Structure 1
């Protein structure tokens, strides 16, 4: 006697899948270019400030200056042996010719020198100075 065989349902064929290429491993965190640019600008600005922090143009009333050259002054401590001038006053928005034509420092009677800084033909800043030596 033969036993009847059970019929098995036909197996469904699975569609062929495309092999997926492996993704390359990420190598660290990617920082957007904008962030890098901002960091570079901040660093450069800080370096610029650091290098120009003792420029005469940054002098305030009461600061002292050392004359390094004919038109080159730098801020120094007032008790320094290098202190050549003390700043009596600052006058903004004056052209170089305005400083030469009239004394913009008349309001400071002890003024013995003036220093103008700016671009030729444009307005700049005048420092009214008193010699310390």
Structure 2
């Protein structure tokens, strides 16, 4: 008579793929936020911006020598053509410049700026 011995079940921690995927997404989202935290689109009223070149602005400290503009106002949900229309920033009498960010043909955000 032969007896067969059963192998003991392997014990260990099994992490479902869904949990791993969620952790990866959270990490990537955090990295994305960190890399874009100084984008002009994140600017609030009172923040200062530096022109990095062309139409590229970044948030800087207002006491920085690099500060070129102060954000006077934000206007949401404007197309690029609406943002370039006269009078959009008239409620901020000191506004000297505008900055629009969004996708062409869609609505975006307009910043009303004052030269520093």
Q: What TM-score do you get using the length of structure 2 for normalisation?
A: 0.93
Runs of 4+ off more than 6 Å:
none
Match of 2:90? 106
CA RMSD between the two structures: 1.5
Gaps of 5+ in 2: none
Aligned length: 116
Structure ranking higher on relative contact order (CA contacts 8 Å, 6+ apart):
2
Gaps of 5+ in 1: 1-15
Structure number, greater radius of gyration: 1
Q: Deviations over 1:32-51 (max 9, x none)?
A: 11111111111000000000
Match of 1:5? none
Q: What TM-score do you get using the length of structure 1 for normalisation?
A: 0.81
Match of 1:116? 100
